[in-house]
Homo-oligomer: A and B are copies of this chain.
């Protein structure tokens, strides 16, 4: 179907250092699109500009590549948060606004959406992956939320209540927005900015004491 039109000058370069990362990037794209089971290593290789066999020089199996790919993507996006919370001077509401704003900024970005798609669709089937993300991201976010609420209680800005005991509910809307876009994005995408506005409005109504 393609005679010798383009001789495909394939000089066969050796690039020991660059390869693993390229394979991982290609893998993430394929895994996000097709899911783990339906992803073909040959397609990953093609996307990375190499051949299937080469993958095995860097990764022992499809599953190892999968886990390596998901591990590689864990940014330290929330690394700075505990410090920010500790040093913060303003109101609890403003602190929550800051946190939620960061969440939208961080999560609605092409690379993170890619990762989110994979975790949402495969997380339950790969305990190691779920645990990794729980420990390094979700659990940390939870701790930060808890600390914010404790701080609010200590400063007398809020009273003990079901909500202060389960502050995770406060970030429900962001999670919903991501999942929604993952599943129904083609039919009826959520505009992050619009959702953020509604979310901030909800926080303010629920926790602001003005009037």
Contacts and interface: CB of A to CB of B under 8 A. Distances in A.
Interface in A154-211: 161-163, 165-177, 179-180, 182-188, 190, 194-195, 197-202, 205-207
A67 to B, nearest CB: 16
Contacts of A184: 123, 130, 134, 138
A169 B124 contact: no
B174 A194 contact: no
Contacts of A37: 35, 37-38
Interface stretch (A11-19, A49-57, A80-88, A113-121): A113-121
Interface of A: 34-38, 117, 119-125, 127, 130-131, 134, 138-139, 161-163, 165-177, 179-180, 182-188, 190, 194-195, 197-202, 205-207
27 contacts: A35-B37, A37-B37, A37-B38, A121-B121, A121-B124, A121-B125, A127-B186, A130-B184, A130-B186, A131-B187, A134-B187, A161-B205, A162-B198, A162-B200, A163-B198, A163-B201, A163-B202, A163-B205, A165-B198, A166-B194, A168-B173, A168-B190, A169-B176, A169-B198, A169-B202, A172-B199, A175-B179
